[in-house]
C-alpha cells in the first residue's frame, strides 16, 4: 500500500513538472521555474550533508561551481568540435567533476564531523574562490566563462535555444536527481548516515566506520551539486567566481535550513520559497533581504526543524484524528499574527522610504494605500495596529497551546 502511494506521489510530481509551463507560460515565470529547478537539486544535495549526514558545510558551492565550470568548458569544446555530446548529458559532466573533487576533498575533510568539518569546508571554499581569480585560464577571472548551449548537436530536433526547451531539460534532471537522492536516502548507506549523524559511537560499535559513511554521503552530495552546476551552465551560459564563493554556499545553507533538514522535501520547499522571495518579492521591496534574514533567524530560533518540520509535528494530531480541534485556535491566533506581521512590514517600509526616499517626495504606496510619510498619522495608525495585534496574539496564544496539548495527548486506546 505504502509503495503504491509512494509511486503515485512520484507520478503526480512528474505530471506537475510537465504541466507547470502550461500554467506559467510567461518568459519571466519560465526563467523563475528554471532557477527553481537548479536550486532544488542544489539544496537537496546540500541536505545529503546537513540533514542526512549531520555535516554542516560552508563550502558546498565549490562542487556546484566546479561542476558548472566543467560543463561550460565542455560547451566550448563542443562548439570547437573537440568532442561532441548532446546538451542534455552536460549535467552529467558537471556531476562527475563534482564527484571527483568531492572524492579528493572528502578523503581528508570527512575524518571528523562538527566544527572541524565546518571549518575545513570553509577553508576549502575560500581557497577555491580565491584561486578562481588566479587561474584565469580555467575560471575566466572577473568575467567568468561563457558558452553557447545551442552549439551542441541537436537532440531529437531540439536545439535548446528557447527557455521552454531548457525548462524541460531541467525538469527532467530535477525528477531524475530527486528520485535518485530519495532512493539513496532509503538505501542502507543512507540509513546508516542518519545513524552516524545521531550517534557516531553507536554506529561504530555496530561495525560501521563513521568516516566511510560520511565520505559516501559527501561524494553523493558533491555529485548532485555538480549536476546542479551543470544545469546552471546550460541555463545561464555563464559561470563566474560567485558560483563557488561563500555567498552561494551560504544561500544554500539558508534555504535548506528554512525548508527543513529533517524531511526529504524540506530543501525543495526551501528552494522554491527562497527563489520566489528572490525573484518576486524583490520586485516590490528593496528590503526583501532583510525579511529573508528575519525569516532565517526566526526559523533557527523558533522552528529549528524548518517549515516542513513544523508541518511534520502535526502528524501525531492528524493520526489521532484531532487536527480539526486546532483549526479554530490557529485562525484566532493566525489572523492577528498576520496583521502584526503586515504592520511591522509597513513600519519598516515606511522607515525605509522616509530615510532613503527622494527629497521632497512624501507619498508612497503601501499595500495599495497611499501614505504620506511626512505626517505623523500613518505612523501612529500602524503602531496602533501593531500593538493591538501583538496584544491579541499574546492573549490568544495560551489557548492555542492548550488546544495543541489536548490534540497531541495520547489516545485513550493507546494506553490500554
Partner 1 sequence: MSFWRMAVLVGVLYPMCSHGADAVRIAFIDPISGTFSATGTNTLHQFEFAAEELVNKKAGVLGGRRFEIVALDNKASPRESQIQLKRAIGEGIQIIAQGNSSAVANAVTDAVRKHNRRNPANRVLYLNYSAVDPALTNDKCHFWHFRFDAHAEIKMAALTDVIAKQENIEKIYIIGQDYSFGKAVAAAAVKFLGQKRPDMAILGNELHPIGRVKDFTPYVTKIQSSGAQAIITGNWGADMVGLGKAIVDAGMNVPIYTYYAAFDGVTATMGKAGKGKIRLVHEGHYNPVPTKRLRDYHSAFKAKYPDHDLSNQRVYNVIEILAKAIDKAGSSDPLPVARALEGIEHTTLGGERVFMRREDHQLFQPLQISVHTDEGIEFDGDNSGFGLRTEESVPLENTLVETTCKMTRPQS
Partner 2 sequence: MVEIVIFSTLNGLVTGLLLFMLASGLTLIFSMMGILNFAHASFYMLGAYFAYSVSLFLGFWPGLIVAPLLVGVLGALVERYGLRYVHKSGHVAELVFTFGLAFFIEELVQFAWGKETKNYQQPEILDFPLFTLFGQNFPAYKGFMIFISIAIFIGLYQVITRTRIGLIIQAAISHPNAVSSLGHNVPLIFMGAFGVGTALAGVAGVIAGPVLTTFPGMALVLGSIVFVIVVVGGLGSLTGALIASLLIGLLQSYAIALEFAVNDLLALFDISFDADHFLNDLWTLSLPQIAPVLPYLLLVLILIFRPTGLLGKRET
Q: Which residues bind partner 1 (CB under 8 A)?
A: 26-32, 35, 133, 141-144, 146, 148, 150, 161-162, 236-240, 242-243, 279, 283-285, 339, 342-343, 346, 358-360, 365-369, 381, 385
Q: How far is the CB of 301 from partner 1 (least distance, A)?
A: 24
Residue with Cβ nearer partner 1 (153 or 321): 153
We find the least distance from the C-beta atom of residue 334 to partner 1, in angstroms, to be 13
Part in contact with partner 2 (CB under 8 A); list of ranges 52-60, 142-150, 338-346, 366-374: 52-60
Span of 29-37, 114-122, 226-234, 326-334 interacting with partner 2 by CB under 8 A: 114-122
Q: Which is nearer to partner 2, 28 or 116 (CB)?
A: 116
Closer of 85 and 118 to partner 2 (Cβ): 118
Q: 375 or 406: whose CB is closer to partner 1?
A: 375
Shortest spacing between CB 55 and partner 2, in angstroms:
9
How far, in Å, CA of 371 to CA of 317, rounded? Answer: 44
**What's the min distance (Å) between Cβ of 137 and partner 1?**
14
CB of 380 to partner 1, least distance (A): 12
Q: Is residue 114 a contact residue for partner 2 (CB under 8 A)?
A: yes
With respect to partner 2, which residue has the nearer C-beta, 135 or 338?
135
Whole-number minimum distance, CB 368 to partner 1, in Å?
5
Pick the closer one to partner 2 by CB: 183 or 300.
Answer: 300
Question: Under a CB-based contact definition with an 8 Å cutoff, are residues 47 and 266 in contact?
Answer: yes
CB of 109 to partner 2, least distance (A): 8
The correct pick among 11, 15, 16, 136 for binding partner 2 (CB under 8 A) is: 136
Query: How far apart are alpha carbons 368 and 376 in whole angstroms?
Result: 19
CA 338 to chain centre: 24
User: Of residues 294, 323, 347, 392, which one binds partner 2 by CB under 8 A?
Assistant: 294
Print the SS3 string covering the chain: CHHHHHHHHHHHHHHHHHHHHHHCCCHHHHHHHHHHHHHHHHHHHHHHHHHHHCCCCCCCHHHHHHHHHHHHHHHHHHHCCCCCCCHHHHHHHHHHHHHHHHHHHHHHHCCCCHHHHHHHHHHHHHHHHHHCCCCHHHHCHHHCEECCHHHCCCECCECCCCHHHHHHHHHHHHHHHHHHHHHHHHCHHHHHHHHHHHCHHHHHHCCCCHHHHHHHHHHHHHHHHHHHHHHHHHHHCEECHHHHCHHHHHHHHHHHHHHCCCCCCHHHHHHHHHHHHHHHHHHHCCCHHHHHHHHHHHHHHHCCCHHHHHHHCCHHHHHHCCCHHHHHHHHHHHHHHHHHHHHHHHHHHHHHHHHHCCCCCCEEEECCEEEECCCCHHHHHHHHHHHHHHHHHHHHHHHHHHHHHHHHCCCHHHHC
C-beta closer to partner 2: residue 172 or 309 = 309
Q: Taking the complex as a whole, how short is the minimal distance between the CB of residue 161 and partner 1, in angstroms?
A: 4
Of 120 and 239, CB closest to partner 1 = 239
- Examine residue 383 and tell whether it contacts partner 2 (CB under 8 A): no
The residues binding partner 2 (CB under 8 A) are 50, 54, 56, 58, 108, 111, 114-116, 118-120, 122-124, 126-127, 130-131, 133-138, 246, 250, 253-254, 257, 287, 289-290, 292-294, 296-297, 299-301, 304, 348, 351-352, 355-356
Amino acid at each position: 500500500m505504502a509503495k503504491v502511494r509512494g509511486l503515485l506521489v512520484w507520478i503526480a510530481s512528474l505530471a506537475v513538472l510537465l504541466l507547470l509551463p502550461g500554467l506559467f507560460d510567461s518568459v519571466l515565470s519560465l526563467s523563475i521555474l528554471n532557477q527553481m529547478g537548479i536550486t532544488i537539486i542544489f539544496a537537496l544535495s546540500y541536505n545529503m550533508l546537513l540533514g542526512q549526514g549531520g555535516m554542516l558545510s560552508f563550502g558546498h558551492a565549490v562542487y556546484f561551481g566546479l561542476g558548472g565550470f566543467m560543463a561550460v568548458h565542455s560547451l566550448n569544446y563542443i562548439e570547437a568540435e573537440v568532442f561532441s555530446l548532446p546538451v542534455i548529458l552536460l549535467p552529467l559532466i558537471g556531476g562527475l567533476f563534482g564527484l571527483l573533487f568531492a572524492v579528493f576533498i572528502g578523503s581528508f575533510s570527512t575524518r571528523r564531523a562538527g566544527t572541524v568539518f565546518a571549518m575545513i569546508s570553509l577553508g576549502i571554499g575560500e581557497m577555491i574562490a580565491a584561486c578562481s581569480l588566479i587561474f584565469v585560464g580555467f575560471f575566466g577571472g572577473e568575467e567568468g566563462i561563457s558558452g553557447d548551449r545551442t552549439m551542441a548537436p541537436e537532440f531529437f530536433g531540439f536545439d535548446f535555444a528557447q527557455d521552454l526547451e531548457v525548462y524541460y531539460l531541467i525538469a527532467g534532471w530535477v525528477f531524475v536527481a530527486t528520485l535518485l537522492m530519495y532512493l539513496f536516502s532509503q538505501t542502507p548507506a543512507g540509513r546508516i548516515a542518519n545513524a552516524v549523524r545521531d550517534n557516531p559511537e553507536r554506529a561504530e560499535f555496530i561495525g560501521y566506520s563513521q568516516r566511510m559513511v560520511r565520505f559516501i554521503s559527501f561524494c553523493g552530495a558533491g555529485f548532485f551539486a555538480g549536476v546542479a552546476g551543470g544545469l546552471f551552465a546550460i541555463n545561464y551560459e555563464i559561470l563566474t567566481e560567485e558560483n563557488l564563493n561563500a555567498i552561494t554556499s551560504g544561500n544554500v545553507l539558508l534555504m535548506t535550513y528554512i525548508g527543513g533538514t529533517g524531511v526529504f522535501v524540506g530543501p525543495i520547499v526551501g528552494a522554491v520559497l527562497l527563489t520566489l522571495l528572490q525573484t518576486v518579492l524583490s520586485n516590490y521591496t528593496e528590503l526583501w533581504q532583510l525579511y529573508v534574514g528575519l525569516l532565517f533567524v526566526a526559523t533557527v530560533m523558533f522552528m529549528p526543524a524548518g517549515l516542513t518540520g513544523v508541518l511534520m509535528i502535526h502528524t501525531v494530531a492528524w493520526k489521532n484524528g484531532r487536527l480539526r480541534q486546532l483549526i479554530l485556535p490557529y485562525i484566532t491566533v493566525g489572523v492577528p499574527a498576520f496583521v502584526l506581521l503586515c504592520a511591522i512590514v509597513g513600519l519598516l517600509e515606511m522607515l525605509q522610504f522616509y530615510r532613503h526616499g527622494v527629497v521632497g517626495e512624501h507619498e508612497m504606496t503601501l499595500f495599495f494605500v497611499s501614505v504620506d510619510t511626512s505626517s505623523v498619522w500613518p505612523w501612529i495608525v500602524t503602531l496602533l495596529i501593531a500593538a493591538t495585534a501583538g496584544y491579541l496574539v499574546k492573549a490568544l496564544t495560551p489557548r492555542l497551546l492548550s488546544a495543541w496539548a489536548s490534540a497531541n495527548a495520547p489516545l485513550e486506546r493507546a494506553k490500554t
